[in-house]
Structure 1
């Protein structure tokens, strides 16, 4: 009997420890005394902002209820509205207008085939002024028209994975000035093998992983207009065998054309489509012997021009004078001829490169 009692006591102690540890790991929700829609759960729950700051917010959880329309009435102070795994294909946006504090909306795993059924609203009246996070994963979206989310001006997070997207219109993400996207995920477009044109403008992109564009085998036109790229994403672009047009306008780019054995000349306005370029490296090209006087036309922001280790015998004065922001020039290791044609470079008092570099 003593042995049995000890075993039972030991089991109770183990159970007690397990319950205590489990209780410490569970994040408790608090009751929220409001009229809650039928089938939904209304609680004060922890919430993490897009900047990973945590707080407790009023949450309405209506997941897995086979809903075909929004539950009503929704509590006025709703912060987070969870509608995951329902049968929704459209939303009554006037009802959402009554939720001035709505910050996160989860519509994943529903039946939306168009974002217009979500964002369509009266002219000049943003439908969800406070919304920071929108989940649209695992729906049936096939395309994104121009300004798809322009009625969501504060949006910082947008989740669109596992849809059926086949086309993205130019300006599809215009109006999302607060979006926190800095890089694209790897293989994010892998399911769009038939896509021919892709516009990723104004998204605040700072870089591109090597496999970000993997799977876009039919892509012919790609635009990164008005982003924060500082280098041409050459590794990612190598995954695009059919690319014919690339737009990198309005990016603070640093471009390198180095170690190109077949490069013999830089022609007029060769870089005119890169007006935001700040640094240009054209070095170690053994056959490069000619640069047109207007080769760098319209590069008004270029600050650094590296032309060393080529086969240049001269550089026209207009080539440099056409670059108003230029601060640095490198011409060393070229077979430069110090004749009258090149005398301007040697005697110029404003030249940023010394004679020692010649």
Structure 2
């Protein structure tokens, strides 16, 4: 009946002299017959005008009072884009768009759609983008999307969808972007994406998933962006993300995770951005992101229980540029070397945390472009002297000592802090080691000199030792025998044949009485040889 009325209306326009080419432009609309665009925005229209230029390509009718989509579109078969956002549409009749063989974009956001018939989009073979965002849709009937074989972008977010049928996307083989966020389903069938093998963006945020099971994303290894924010996740199965090797953007914010899912992220080597804000972390452990070598942006803000960033937390992430640790009111400790000094980090956000001090070696401050300490109250001591040489320091004030209380951190100097240049612990350790090595080297040199001198003296004595022989008249010269034994015993003269005479160069001397040399010490050979008590045997 409706179709017949529309045909009669068109015939009336023809016989009354109305032009179907230029068409009739309703009050409050803008019609461009050169660009074939009609825009009727924020008017009182409650139905689709049927007397427009029949060759129009683009129709924009948002912010009106249209409440039903029917066969009126059959007169505009050349349409490529239709915008019906922000109307009062509660029903789409079957095959309403059957004539739109060239339609590429259909926008139905912010209407009152509750139930969709499985023939609502029949005939839209060329459609590439469909948006039903912000409606009241509660179910996706099987077959609803079967004729949308060219579809690339589908937005079903902000509805009341309670289940995802396993085969609802079975013919959407060209789908690139799928937004199912802000609905009411609690699980995703493992085969739901079996035929969407070109999918690059998937948004499942703000649903009650609670758990992502192994195999959930086995068929979409092409995925680049995955949004799982606010899905009540407390954990991830070990292999739940293992197939997503091309993933670059991952959002796990607003969940109940109590630790970084390090093992679950082992295959995401191309990941650039990760959002872990609003979770239940208490500590960031060493090498928390150890496999994420391409990571550039990390957001761990708004975690009310976060207390500490431990040493080496970011030691494998050398491409890291931006780290957001802001609004963690209990975060009071960032340990030295939490961030390696070779990081290319440019922006570090530490605003509204519980920090009262920040060790020089905790962050690569000489590479920073922006350090945000807004809302922090620091104990301004020499430990913060490095801040005076860092890049752009935003916010933060001194809480102690009292003479600096309320002073902006960006305004303090080393003189204000009452300290000069502060050597780092590494420099001090190296200096101590060098000093110890130098002392040992000098001690070794002195010892070598002393030992060398002793060896030379002993050598001289050994050269003299074989000259000890028994005197010709043993009874008369018995003292020579005794003294030769004395010298041998006290000076280590080994290999002597018979004690008796001692030769000094070409001079033969008789060994003096041993009583005169009882106090002679080892090493005093020169004293012995130069002694006036030595008696020449040649005299």
Work out which of the residue numbers 236, 243, 255 in structure 2 matches 1:98.
Answer: 243
Distance 1:60 1:158 in 2: 20
Work out which of the residue numbers 311, 323, 332 in structure 2 matches 1:170.
Answer: 311
Q: State the structure with bigger RCO (CA 8 A, min sep 6), 1 or 2.
A: 1
Name 2:203's counterpart in structure 1: 61
TM-aligned CA deviation for residue 169 of structure 1? 0.7
Q: Would the aligned equivalents of 2:177 and 2:202 in 1 still touch at CA under 8 Å?
A: no
> CA, structure 1 residues 38+222, in 2 after alignment: closer, same or farther (shift >3 Å)?
farther
Name 2:339's counterpart in structure 1: 201
Q: Would the aligned equivalents of 1:110 and 1:139 in 2 still touch at CA under 8 Å?
A: yes
Name 1:9's counterpart in structure 2: 26
The residue correspondences of 1:103-182 to structure 2 (distance < 5 A) are: 103-115=248-260, 118-120=261-263, 126-164=266-304, 165-181=306-322
> CA, structure 1 residues 83+40, in 2 after alignment: closer, same or farther (shift >3 Å)?
farther
Matched position secondary structure for 1:9:
coil
Structure 2: gaps spanning 5 or more residues: 1-24, 32-37, 42-58, 63-82, 84-104, 108-127, 131-149, 154-163, 179-197, 392-410, 433-539
TM-aligned CA deviation for residue 213 of structure 1? 5.1
Name 2:151's counterpart in structure 1: 31
TM-aligned CA deviation for residue 80 of structure 1? 1.6
Work out which of the residue numbers 60, 64, 77 in structure 2 matches 1:20.
Answer: 60
Q: Would the aligned equivalents of 1:67 and 1:88 in 2 still touch at CA under 8 Å?
A: yes
Count how many residue pairs are aligned between Structure 1 and Structure 2.
244
> CA, structure 1 residues 131+229, in 2 after alignment: closer, same or farther (shift >3 Å)?
closer
TM-aligned CA deviation for residue 248 of structure 1? 5.6
Q: Deviations 1:40-76 (Å, cap 9, x if unpaired)?
A: 9884239xxxxxxxxx961222223311222544222
Q: Would the aligned equivalents of 2:289 and 2:316 in 1 still touch at CA under 8 Å?
A: yes
Q: Would the aligned equivalents of 2:301 and 2:327 in 1 still touch at CA under 8 Å?
A: no
TM-aligned CA deviation for residue 231 of structure 1? 9.8
Name 2:506's counterpart in structure 1: none
Over aligned residue pairs, what C-alpha RMSD do you find? 5.1
Name 2:229's counterpart in structure 1: 84
> CA, structure 1 residues 191+97, in 2 after alignment: closer, same or farther (shift >3 Å)?
closer
Q: Deviations 1:16-52 (Å, cap 9, x if unpaired)?
A: 433628649979467359xx98599884239xxxxxx
Distance 1:261 1:244 in 2: 9
> CA, structure 1 residues 102+194, in 2 after alignment: closer, same or farther (shift >3 Å)?
closer
Name the one with the larger helix percent: 2
The residue correspondences of 1:272-291 to structure 2 (distance < 5 A) are: 272-273=423-424
Which has the higher mean CA deviation after the structures are superposed, 16-25 or 191-200? 16-25
TM-aligned CA deviation for residue 113 of structure 1? 0.9
Distance 2:376 2:257 in 1: 34
TM-aligned CA deviation for residue 126 of structure 1? 3.5
TM-aligned CA deviation for residue 177 of structure 1? 0.9
> CA, structure 1 residues 142+127, in 2 after alignment: closer, same or farther (shift >3 Å)?
same
Matched position secondary structure for 1:223:
helix
Q: Deviations 1:174-216 (Å, cap 9, x if unpaired)?
A: 11111122xx76xx5454356144455234344778xx55553
Distance 2:245 2:200 in 1: 13
Q: TM-score, normalised by structure 2?
A: 0.36
TM-aligned CA deviation for residue 93 of structure 1? 3.5
